[in-house]
Structure 1
């Protein structure tokens, strides 16, 4: 396994872990109790967005596991690599804006999002012609 497929396999594991983490949001954040303070529509939006995001993480994992050759050898694949990396960079920026950097958990998430971006930026740059 060369460097790019190894990074993409790690990216698949990363996205699988993030997807599973998102499935536990109801329990971790006590959504059954905490979301009751929201209106019905806002409660639905939060949960739907989480489930759609979870689905996309499973898709990213699947693509990383089963289409790594296409990701590093085609223009569309490189676009997908760059898009995934940019997603995690955006998530990192939003983490700092909305949560700050005062708590250890925020710093941990910043590290996690940096890893997520790196797992796709490195193969992207490595695969450029």
Structure 2
């Protein structure tokens, strides 16, 4: 089970790295100029905060796998992260309706994340 929790940490590191590339991937230096100052700031602040969340979650997974498996708060942490990815998947269908191949790939990866975080609890 600890290996799966380690993989959860790697999963979050991957998303932290992915989100650091948003400025370049989505041409934010150009596209965000079209938005009002407040909206431009909010988008970037939220992205920076989600990067922090992913890194923090990864560190918790790397540093406290036993606690995540064997304490009530650890189990709730894993369930909470699973719910995070379930909600992310739902939001994908609400806000990012697209037939683009990469959108479908990301949706599958989000679903994988929801299972990845709850899997150790099911098997334990």
TM-score (norm 2): 0.96
How do 1:26-65 residues align onto structure 2 when only pairs under 5 Å count? 26-65=23-62
How do 1:1-129 residues align onto structure 2 when only pairs under 5 Å count? 4-100=1-97, 102-127=99-124
2-side partners of 1:113 and 1:78: how far apart?
20
Structure 1 runs (4+) deviating above 6 angstroms are none
User: Across the two proteins, how many residue pairs are aligned to each other?
Assistant: 124
TM-score (norm 1): 0.92
The alpha carbon displacement at 1:123 in A equals 1.0
The alpha carbon displacement at 1:101 in A equals 5.3
1-side partners of 2:56 and 2:69: how far apart?
17
Cα RMSD between the aligned structures? Answer: 1.0
Structure 2 unaligned residues grouped into runs of 5+: none
The alpha carbon displacement at 1:77 in A equals 0.3
**The 10-residue stretch of structure 1 (92-101 or 110-119) with the greater mean CA deviation from structure 2:** 92-101
